[in-house]
Amino acid sequence: MRKTIIAILLLGSTASTAALAKNDFGKDLDDQLADCTNKAESTLASIDCYNTGLKAWDAQLNKQYKLLLAEQPAEFQASLKKSQIAWINYRDSYLEAMQNFYRQQSGTIWGITMSEAKLRVTRDKAIELYKLRTSVDMEG
């Protein structure tokens, strides 16, 4: 039952965004996460999978941010930095609200659900930055 719920959460979060991702961006990270969660035999192991995935997606987010800033005019750089600061504030407050919501629930599945949500928010932003960066590439 737990593995079915995890699979549904994973597929639901990745399928919609993955269809939008250009050139299967991040597919390897999603595949690694799916392999890990499929092998996880406990709630803690599943949460560890999501935490590892979160670190990988956070590194990808930072990479895409730096690549997007590279060789851009100062006006765009300032605008992007301002938006990222606002996004970080949003992300933190949204995750805090979700944490408070799931804390009210009974059962260990909500820890997994929260871990998946943290990963999804970061993953989606990394994909957005990648798509923005590559949107003017008419060759690919």
User: Is 90 exceeded by the pLDDT of residue 21?
Assistant: no
- Residue 29 inside a domain? The answer is yes
Domain count, the chain: 1
Closest CA relative to residue 110, chosen from 119, 120, 102, 121: 102
- Residue 85 inside a domain? The answer is yes
What is the residue range of 88's domain? 2-134
Note the pTM of the prediction, 2 decimals. Answer: 0.80
Alpha-carbon distance values, 132 to 17, 24, 64, 79, 135 (Å): 14, 15, 9, 14, 5
What is the rounded average pLDDT for all residues in the chain?
87
- Residue 126 inside a domain? The answer is yes
Q: What is the pLDDT of residues 59-118, one digit of tens each?
A: 999 999 999 999 899 999 999 999 999 999 999 999 999 999 999 999 989 999 999 999
- Residue 89 inside a domain? The answer is yes
- Residue 105 inside a domain? The answer is yes
- Residue 140 inside a domain? The answer is no
Per-residue pLDDT at 137: 73
Instruction: Provide mean pLDDT across the span 40-54.
Output: 96
What six digits make up the tokens of 53?
Answer: 């995935």
